[in-house]
Chains A and B, each alone.
Chain A
Amino acid sequence: MDDQQIIELYWNRSDEAIVQTQKKYGRLCYKIAYNILGSHQDSEECVNDTYLRAWDVIPPKRPQKLSAFLCRITRNQALKRYESNTAEKRGGGEVPLALEELAGCIPDSSSVTAVTEQRELTRKFNEFLSRLPAETRRIFLRRYWGLESVRDIAQTLRLSESKVKVTLHRTRKKLKTYLEQEGIVL
């Protein structure tokens, strides 16, 4: 079933919308949730929350890209759950590692103007991403947007682990330079 048809099912308030969403994107959403939460039960619940959220929002929203729309909801739900889990000292997943790696991208703040607006930062990210080759962009986003492990990325994109690691390393360096040039201070 194509995305337009699934969205129509949501618009028609048909329960089948959830069934079809689950069929087409359930596994993908679960993977994103699991990368963040590292727990089967939490990930299942998170994916169910994603379906409920999608049901609430469509209609009247008509997502331009259903896959991205669902992935984003899942990620947000999972990060929220991750925060509450870590507060209770539970959970795991790839978040701490990814955060550590991202920390290296933050430039020194002494010589640049402070720009802390979240929206501005997102705009800069979009610009940065637009300059990357498609394959690099995929690797980078799977790691830092989807918080996938290097191994999973390598398997999914049929690349060697070392290729993924090198690409991530180079892209992080590029990001750091880019953020410096753009005067980003966090």
Chain B
Amino acid sequence: MKEKKLLQALGNVDEGYIAEAYEVAPKRKKTKTKLIWAAAAVLCAIALLTAGAAWERIYVATNDLDQYPLVNPAQVADEAIRLTVEEVTASSLRVYCTIDGVEYGKNSIYILEDGPFTIEKKTENGWEALPTRFTDPEWKATRVLTDGDYDWPVNWSGSYGVLEPGTYRYQTVVLEGKAPSCVEFTVTDGPKEELVALLRTTLDSSSYCVRNRVTVETSSLEHLNATDRAGIESITQDSVIEYWKHGDEEMKLTYVEDKLVGGFMHKNGLNYTLMFEGDASYNPILGWSRWTELKRDRLFEWAGLILDTGEYELRGAADGSGMELVQVEERTYEEYGVTAIWTSVWEFDISDPSACAAQLEQQDVDAASPFSWELEKQSREAQTVAFVNTEPQPITTAPEAVERALAEYSGDYTRAIVYRDETAGMWKVEFQDDYGWKGYCYIYMNDNGITQMIAEGEPRVW
């Protein structure tokens, strides 16, 4: 049928058009929920002050949930919220939560699945809070449609490390405004004793490089046509993920077929992500840009991930340097008639702090991407507002430009990207609100840090 040919050809059209047709942009509910949760925020602030951290809440509604009435936490009794845990390792677990009285399809609810939690250890004197390595300043309340059952993973590799054997309790607030819910769990080193020791040694080290190399070896591809060959080759690419740490700085880099395709970093007390031209990771790298959404736990997640794995083999020295964890898995791709052997090797190295220091040192967060002040001055519509930056305060680096620009911009932003016009002696700081889905703000400043223009950009569309 000829029309079928059209249907098939249409099936392969540009993904941008499909995404445009089925746009699912993240929605946030800040303004509304700030009012709803105002009283709870006070409670939270008190709790967090005692924890020594300044938490910030972000409310996220997954798509299409607005049609369901939101459950009012005041109508949920504290004892109606019950937690159990499964898949316990020394560095992670999965929490199962049951909330009585919530019916599927009748209401939606904000769950603090990504919220702050504490781990306490049972001692002779009762429950003792464990010291955290750092506090994460941001957490999210996700609005979900639930039948009262909900579960989420918890990985404390970064904040608490790898726990010693013992009895612990996990404590968190599931619904804001409710009393914290607790659940006990037991950690044993079990059969993975040697591996747990290795992870503990590595995490406790002030410098390390943990590298995960995945290589894929396929059976013969000779029987495949060019399209299918390209298809299976794209599925079976080799990849490397590296986690670097030196002192208080950490970084995660991801490579595919030796090309750097992603990176997160905590450096000089700030969080960054790698930016690529056109926001596509196969394009050239633009550089590091300020990223407010990075949770530092993500830079330590490797420990929890490793402990969660199945069969493995440990090779190398037992002192924590130069050790390797090897996993081999065979996968079959029936549609291609191909089998592939996936080999995942985790390498641990704490022996060379200077290499770790150099690796983090060479990440240039001071650089800025080029732009043309002349062109943008003409093309953008300047806002008619009084500028704050009217007294000289020279700017020499990208972080300085962001700090200076923040005096002019009080809105939310997920990314801040710095541009520089060398010839004109101008800086541009682009603040992306919700990655641009809610708009952009551009602050233009000269080398003396004096604001020359402020402009806004239309929200991003697919």
Name A residues whose Cβ lies closer than 8 Å to a Cβ of B: 1-2, 8, 11-14, 16, 19, 23-25, 27-28, 32, 56-57, 59-65, 67-69, 71-72, 75-76, 79, 98-100, 102-103, 105-106, 116, 118-119, 121-122, 125-126, 129, 134, 137-138, 141-142, 144-146, 186
Q: How far is the CB of B254 from chain A (nearest CB, A)?
A: 7
Q: For residue B19, which residues in chain A have a CB less than 8 angstroms away from its CB?
A: 65, 67-68
A145 shortest CB reach to chain B, Å: 6
CA distance A102 to B3 in the complex (A): 6
Whether B98 sits at the interface, judged by CB under 8 Å, is: no
| CB interface residues, B 1-57, toward A, < 8 Å | 1-24, 26
Interface residue ranges, B against A (CB under 8 Å): 1-24, 26, 60, 62-64, 140, 142, 144, 151-153, 214, 216, 234-239, 241, 254, 256-257, 261-262, 280-282, 293, 298, 301, 305, 331, 333, 435, 461-462
Once A12-B301, A121-B5 are accepted as A-B contacts, the answer to whether A23 and B24 lie under 8 Å apart by CB is no
- Please name all residues of chain B whose beta carbon is closer than 8 Å to the beta carbon of A105 when the two chains form the complex: 3, 6
Expressed in whole angstroms, the minimum distance between the Cβ of A45 and any Cβ of chain B is 16
Bound: A2/B333 CA distance, A: 29
A174 to B280, CA, bound (A): 32
The tally of CB-CB contacts under 8 A between chains A and B is 154
Once the chains bind, are B22 and A56 in contact (CB under 8 Å)?
A: no
Alpha-carbon distance A63/B235, docked complex (angstroms) = 11
Q: State A65–B14 Cα separation when bound (angstroms).
A: 11
By a CB distance below 8 angstroms, the chain A residues around B23 are: 67
Distance of B280 from chain A, by nearest CB (Å): 5
Q: Name the A residues within 8 Å of B63 (CB-CB).
A: 24, 27-28
A134 touches B20 (CB 8 A): yes
Q: Which residues of B contact A13 (CB under 8 A)?
A: 305
In the complex, besides A122-B12, A145-B11, 18 extra interface pairs with C-beta distance below 8 angstroms are A11-B239, A13-B305, A56-B333, A59-B214, A59-B239, A60-B235, A64-B282, A67-B19, A67-B24, A68-B15, A75-B11, A118-B9, A118-B12, A119-B12, A125-B9, A129-B13, A141-B17, A145-B10
Name, among B10, B14, B153, B282, the residue most crowded by chain A CB atoms within 10 Å (CB to CB): B10
23 residue pairs from A and B, CB less than 8 Å apart: A8-B298, A24-B63, A59-B214, A62-B256, A68-B16, A71-B22, A99-B1, A99-B7, A102-B6, A102-B7, A106-B2, A122-B13, A125-B9, A126-B13, A129-B14, A129-B17, A137-B20, A141-B13, A141-B18, A141-B20, A144-B10, A145-B21, A186-B5
- Complex contact B20–A138 (CB within 8 A): yes
Contact B16 A28 (CB under 8 A): no
Beta-carbon contact of B18 and A72 below 8 Å: yes
A1 → B minimal CB distance (Å): 7
B6–A121 CB distance below 8 A: yes
Known A12-B305, A134-B461: A146·B22 in contact at CB below 8 Å: yes
> In the complex, which residue of chain B has the Cβ closest to the Cβ of A61?
B234
Closest Cβ of chain B to A184, distance in Å, is 9
List chain A residues, Cβ under 8 A from B15.
63-65, 68-69, 72
When chains A and B are docked, how far (Å) is the Cα of A60 from the Cα of B281? 13
Interface core residue of A32, A56, A60, A146 (most chain B CB under 10 Å): A60
Chain A residues positioned under 8 Å from B281 (CB to CB) = 62, 64
List of A residues within 8 angstroms of B237 by Cβ: 59-61
Main secondary structure of the interface of A (DSSP, over half): helix
Residue of A with least CB distance to B238: A60
Contact (Cβ within 8 A) B7 A60: no
**For A56, what are the chain B residues with a Cβ–Cβ distance below 8 Å?**
235, 331, 333
| Cα separation A24 to B27 with both chains bound (whole Å) | 11
A137-B21, A138-B21 are contacts. A79–B235 as well, Cβ < 8 Å?
no
Task: Closest A residue to B305 by CB, please name it.
Answer: A12
Cβ of A125: which chain B residues have Cβ within 8 Å of it?
Answer: 9-10, 13
B190 CB, nearest partner CB in chain A, Å? 21
Q: Which of B8, B11, B17, B461 has the most CB of A within 10 A?
A: B17
| Shortest distance between the CB of B164 and any CB in chain A (Å) | 25
Question: Bound complex: CA of A85 vs CA of B9, how far in Å?
Answer: 21
The residue in chain B whose Cβ has the minimal distance to the Cβ of A153 is: B21
Tell me the complex Cα distance, A144–B24, Å: 19
Q: Is the CB of A106 within 8 A of B305?
A: no
